[in-house]
Structure 1
Amino acid sequence: MTQQIQPAEQPPNPAHGSSTAVSSVSEANSAERFTDPGLPPHRHRLVDVDPRAAKRAERQVATLFILSMIGTLGTLAAIIGIEYEGHNEYFDRLAAVSLSTKAIGFALFVSLFCLGVGAVHWAKTLMPDEERVDYRHRQRGTDAERARAVAILKDGVAETGLGRRPLIRNTLIGAAALLPLSALFFFRDTGPLPGTALEQTWWDEGEYLIKDPEGGRILAADVQLGSIVHVMPETIEEAGHDLLAEKGKAAVILLRLKPEELNPPAGREDWAVDGIVAYSKICTHMGCPVALYEQTTHHLLCPCHQSTFDVTQDCKVIFGPAKRPLPQLPIMVDEDGYLVARAGFQEPVGPSFWERG
């Protein structure tokens, strides 16, 4: 639908002279120059004059909406049906992830593309396309004009043909109703639920600390003052197809300070070994790896959003958006002097954007 705006009359310019005759001539020329040309003759489309063409266009729109529904169902099938967690071999799992990503992308493209093209084809072929003139008026119309505007909107809804084209209406409802299901599955896969995965890590009593990634148990005597060591549980490789997820949760940093510099809270006096402490490497703000250590101040820094933790105060947050300290892993030494976990984490690791007791 096109709109034609009627131009307002232009006042005479005083700079061109003040003569009444000149002014009259200018006004006459202006009126003649801006004569309303009117609307061009309306050209009817084939669907406007041929009921069979209109029915054919209706079937085409409905077919596009049905293809959109199939695309949405294909997206769900790709999400559910293509398994990659069960592959133990790295390259097999990588190939399965690649296949899943391509299948989801193609099916979602079909769903959105056909829904959009169907809506455009519907508007181009079946909705009215008469030209109309809309005259300028005050910002707020009269009550009669406002009532007419409401009537025009109602007419527009009626002109879409939803009431008399149930095939289009029903297929559109089906395509629009199925489309959000894909988003539900995508949101579900954005991360683990806090009440399950993040409250359980691979760390447990008797689990030896090994260097990450080279491996090998760690002697307490080998940890130098002021050093930082990245560690993992010794048996983490037994996680199988969950190895990457378990490694992400179990990442720990090991530091050594002078014992008198530590100020452990009540009940945690024996969680360190001669100044050696172990904390979760996962920032409690958004889960980024905390790996920057300032030896002179004993501060740990998260590089993503600059949350800063004081190791001498049980990794208390002293700057940044994080809301709680890094969880501490209680450690001890065995009879041979190797570092071993006294127990697992006593609180969930990771971000704190969920309510936790």
Structure 2
Amino acid sequence: MSTTASSTPAVREEHADPIADPGLHEHQPRPTDVDEKAEKRAERQIATLFGLSALFAVLFVVSYFVFHIGEDPTIIAGYGASNVALGVCLGMSLLLIGIAAIQWARKLMSDVEIVEMRHPAASSDEDRADAITALNQGIDDSGIARRPLIRNSMLGALGMLGLPTIVLLRDLGPAPGDKLAHTVWAKGMRVVNDVAGTPIKPEEVEIGQLINGEPAVFYEEVDGEPKFEGVTLQQAKAKAAVILVRMKPSDITPAPGRENWGVEGILCYSKICTHVGCPISLWEQQTHHLLCPCHQSTFDLADNAKVIFGPAARPLPQLPLKVDSEGYLVAQHDFDEPVGPSYWERG
């Protein structure tokens, strides 16, 4: 059977739209597009919303300091007044900014229907230039440049939101003060094995050996009660943990003033890495290197725990040792520098 010309598909024009244009309804202007009074009224409403947002941000800060928490909290309707006030104020501040932005877009920003074709590949330079032009046009259509009342009130509301953020930083905890600069180590305090809690004599440590240690005070009692327990114990242990290593005295290069900080080749260093505070005990006997398992910082314990590799910026603090009257290893005094990671105030 022959095919007639009428049954042949029509050839699509080269520049025809990939999908037939369904057409758009006639554009309906908004009241603010045709009524200047309505436009000004909307502008004032949006600025008011931004202003109220700023007010709630201030009330958040006021509530933080006014309502009591802790042992004698302020209660409203059976709930902690502080939590209720902080939640309501911060929520309202964010909500009002959102409502103001929506009203701005619906009532005052450019209201024009547009059609954009999809591109199967990267845009050409001309298209990119057009995109920048369209972006600038959008900024102009938003009216932010010619509506200083809305612009300034929005910036004020967003700026006020920084106040709750600053205040909430206080809840990260009290400033440490000089707590990071000191540990429980003190003159004459014995070094004990951190597993058995037994004191250590120099002759019990072999060359090349590493022992994880801690201060004996953790095992002492006062009136039958331990000196440290619970959270206080864990905090003290986190700073006071040490490692003991023994090397040939001829391999050690002590820093000036530290010639008598070791005992027969036995040195004691903080176990806490000076990078981000990971505990270290990966010991290479032949090289005298101590490796951090977290980020591979490497310290040469024969050379004052100097950093020879990795991100750590400081040597491990050294605890000076001596032997007490009973022949056990004890500290000469506390570390002479803060242990653990570096921080801004650390000199």
- Letter paired with 1:304: C
Offset, 1:122: 2.1
Aligned ranges for residues 68-147 of structure 1 at < 5 Å?
81-82=69-70, 113-125=91-103, 128=107, 131-132=111-112, 139=129
- Letter paired with 1:228: L
1:192 paired residue number: 176
Contact preservation (8 Å) 1:302, 1:308: yes
Provide the secondary structure at the position in 1 that maps to 2:311.
coil
RMSD across aligned C-alpha pairs, in angstroms?
4.9
1:303 paired residue number: 293
Offset, 1:349: 1.9
Offset, 1:161: 4.8
Offset, 1:329: 0.6
Provide the secondary structure at the position in 1 that maps to 2:161.
helix
1:225 paired residue number: 207
Offset, 1:63: 6.9
Alignment CA distance shift 1:68-1:308 (3 Å): same
Which digits, 9 at most, give the CA deviation of each residue in 1:133-171, with x for residues without a partner?
Answer: 68999959xxxx9x99887565666387578xx8x998x
1:211 paired residue number: 193
1:99 paired residue number: none
Residue 178 (structure 1) aligned to one of 163, 179, 193: 163
Unaligned segments of structure 2, at least 5 residues: 1-12, 72-80, 117-125, 219-225
Residue 216 (structure 2) aligned to one of 234, 242, 245: 234
Offset, 1:302: 0.9
Unaligned segments of structure 1, at least 5 residues: 1-25, 84-102
TM-score, with length taken from structure 2:
0.64
1:88 paired residue number: none
1:41 paired residue number: 28
2-side partners of 1:280 and 1:108: how far apart? Answer: 42
Offset, 1:218: 2.2
Quick check: 1:269 aligned with 2:259? yes
Provide the secondary structure at the position in 2 that maps to 1:235.
helix
% same residue: 35
Contact preservation (8 Å) 2:193, 2:214: yes
Quick check: 1:158 aligned with 2:147? yes
Alignment CA distance shift 1:234-1:28 (3 Å): closer
1-side partners of 2:171 and 2:330: how far apart? Answer: 39
Offset, 1:286: 2.2
Alignment CA distance shift 1:39-1:82 (3 Å): farther
2-side partners of 1:179 and 1:124: how far apart? Answer: 23
Alignment CA distance shift 1:197-1:39 (3 Å): farther
Contact preservation (8 Å) 1:221, 1:337: no
TM-score, with length taken from structure 1:
0.63
- How many residues align structurally? 302
Residue 312 (structure 2) aligned to one of 305, 311, 322: 322
Alignment CA distance shift 1:280-1:126 (3 Å): same
2-side partners of 1:312 and 1:68: how far apart? Answer: 57
Quick check: 1:246 aligned with 2:230? no
More helix by share: 1
